[in-house]
Amino acid sequence: MSQFFNQFQAVPFKTTEHHPVELFFQKEGRYSNFQKEAFFLRLIVDTDFALWSEQCKSWQKKHSGHLYVAQFSSQLDPSQATHYRELYNQKGLQPSFQFQNIIWNETFHHSLQNILQLFQKIRNCKEESILCNFAVKLFYWIDLYFPQLFIETTKMNQFPKFICSGKIGTSEYLFLYILYQLGCDVLYLGQGQDVSVSSTELLSLSQRVEQPPVLQQTGEQFNPISPIPAQQRPTISRSSLQRADRVNQQPVHTQPTAPQQERNILSRASLQHPNRTPSAKPQPSPPTPTAQKQPMEFEQLAGFASSVVMLKIFDENNECVKTGSGIIISNQGYILTNFHVVCGGAYYGILLEEETDVFYTDTLVKYHPEWDLAILRFDKYRTPIPILDASERLVRGQKVVAIGSPLGLFNTISDGIVSGFRELRGMSMVQFTAPVSHGSSGGALLDMYGRLIGVITAGFDDGQNLNLAVNHNTILQFVGNLL
């Protein structure tokens, strides 16, 4: 451990009778003896978000080294992603940005190591490729935002302020915590919804505050004023809020264009799309197949529909270009689906049974074009569907149940039998007779004990009930240590 570590430390700003957000804009935290009082706040704005956003933009222009980011960028081109991945593989957590102040720099690198360990703990992450993807995102954001914030890197006499809005997941939140540890004041401005972080340990690192009176800019500072009359408030276009809820009833099934090998990729940009507050009502749980000694009735198997989701795939213009299905396979929020369902998407909407809200994610954890498999992740708990053990074999004629969303008809259930086993482009497939249609891709094929035996992938339009699914052995090989 470096001899300089712990000579600089960010500590929470001491509470006063003033509102924390007011202090954030008006006060610089005290800095002495290598300690800096700093803010890490989460403010959820239920009204007048557009006004807050415009004032933050104006505030940024008047203060050098202060930055407002309306939406985190993740638009890495392939060459950038390759560069950062090579940097991580060669040097570990050693980004190109460096502080000239050696104490600051030592704190910076120690914070990065702590963040990586925290990410591993929160995500229960054991795969090096996922850690690499997280590091690549950190490197990208550091190169993008640090030079705009830390204009002076030699002396600790000017500390920046950083405000952000938009979708904030675990990766973005940990980046904010790095800024806070370096003495930067951080404020998350949420439009009616908090950060998409389910870990209470992570949320405890920041402070959620109530919305103060509307702020207006006067001179060089923000000051509280009385709420603006409703007729004078800026309005937000309803069409932009509703657009992400439209489902294209004619899904477009694109063909894989990525190199034919397994890839672990970065989250793509989260565009401006509605983020709704999750429902608080209790959720149904599917039966527990491990305790089931006898085959289940179809009514029991229908309970597993609560762990099969409908997916909406959105492009860069916030348009839903296709729909599909997915299977929750882990209590860490991992959703298994087909690669051809998610490829080309900028972000994804997730519909759960018994939920009225749409959950959004842009985290595509990994994919394999040849096996036509991919994994998404979102911050919502549902009981996962277990995968049939590799030691067990499927037999022709055994009964199966298919669950998917054909033609946008959410969680349709059908039954059939295993009619054969096929080799398709060198991949082992299960042929089955349960009726499926477009939109069922990525759905679950279950045995009569509620175990996942295949991911519904394809069907032959020229034949009747000639459908294929990726078998459980391929699924287990692809999923690896994520379970």
- Tell whether the model's pLDDT for residue 284 goes beyond 70: no
Residue 445 φ then ψ, to 5°: -110, 115
Mean pLDDT, range 278-296, rounded to an integer: 59
Dump pLDDT digits (tens) for 401-415: 999 886 666 778 889
Res 431: pLDDT: 93
How many whole angstroms separate alpha carbon 192 and alpha carbon 21?
Answer: 17
Q: Which of helix, strand or coil describes residue 365? A: strand
The pLDDT tens digits of the residues spanning 384-407 come to 999 999 999 999 999 999 998 866
Q: Does residue 436 or residue 298 have the better pLDDT?
A: 298
Contacts for 304 with CB less than 8 Å, ≥ 6 apart: 286, 287, 385, 403, 444, 446, 450
pLDDT of residue 288: 58
pLDDT at residue 174, rounded to an integer = 95
Q: What tens digit of pLDDT does each residue of 221-241 get?
A: 444 433 333 333 333 232 222
Q: Does position 35 have pLDDT exceeding 50, yes or no?
A: yes
Selection from 8-12, 354-358, 472-476 with the highest mean pLDDT: 472-476
Name the amino acid, one letter, at 435. P
pTM of the model: 0.52
Is 329's pLDDT higher than 80? yes
Per the CB < 8 A criterion, the answer to whether 399 and 298 are in contact is no
Please report, as a single letter, which amino acid is at residue 281.
K
pLDDT of residue 353: 84
Average of per-residue pLDDT across 314-334: 90
Q: Which fold is adopted by the domain 243-482?
A: Thrombin, subunit H (2.40.10)
- The mean predicted confidence, pLDDT, of the chain is 78
CA 250 vs CA 183, 307, 401: distances in Å: 51, 24, 25
Taking 70 as the threshold, does the pLDDT of residue 258 lie above it? no
Instruction: State residue 348 phi and psi, 5-degree precision.
Output: -135, 140
pLDDT at 272: 35
| Helix, strand, coil percentages for the chain (3-state, nearest 5) | 30, 25, 45
Highest averaged pLDDT of the listed ranges 14-28, 218-232, 411-425: 411-425
pLDDT at 462 over 60: no
Cβ proximity of 41 and 206 under 8 Å: yes
pLDDT interval class at 287 (50, 70, 90):
low
CA dihedral defined by 64, 68, 72, 77, rounded to 10 degrees? -40
Amino acid making up residue 237: S
Residue 47's pLDDT band (cuts 50, 70, 90): confident
CB atoms within 10 A of CB 265: 17
Residue 260 predicted with pLDDT over 90 = no
Q: What is the pLDDT of residue 236?
A: 28
Q: From its phi and psi, is residue 82 left (phi > 0), alpha (psi between -120 and 50) or beta?
A: alpha
pLDDT at position 164: 94
SS3 471: strand
Q: Which of 169-183, 309-323, 347-361, 449-463 has the lowest mean pLDDT?
A: 449-463
Centre a 10 Å sphere on the Cβ of residue 363 and count the other Cβ atoms it contains: 24
Tell how strand 161-164 and strand 66-69 pair up. Answer: parallel
Q: Which residue has the higher pLDDT, 464 or 388?
A: 388
Model confidence band, residue 381 (pLDDT cutoffs 50, 70, 90): confident
Q: What is the reported pLDDT for 275? A: 40
Q: Where are the domains of the chain?
A: 9-232, 243-482
Whether the per-residue pLDDT at 16 is higher than 70: the answer is: no
What per-residue confidence (pLDDT) applies to 19? 82
Alpha helices in 266-396 (DSSP H): 298-301, 339-342
Residue 322 to residue 14: CA distance in whole angstroms: 50
- Residue type (1 letter), 93: L
**pLDDT score for 419:** 92
pLDDT at 128 > cutoff 90: no
386 against 157, higher pLDDT: 386
In this predicted structure, the answer to whether residue 133 has a pLDDT above a threshold of 80 is yes
What's the DSSP call for residue 387? B
Rounded-to-integer distance, Cα 428 and Cα 175, Å: 42
Per the DSSP assignment, residues forming a β-bridge with 66 are 161
Q: Diameter of the chain by CA atoms? A: 78
Highest mean pLDDT among 35-49, 170-184, 254-268: 170-184
SS (H, E, C) 311-346: EEEECCCCCEEEEEEEEECCCCCEEEECHHHHCCCC
How far, in Å, CA of 169 to CA of 196, rounded? 5
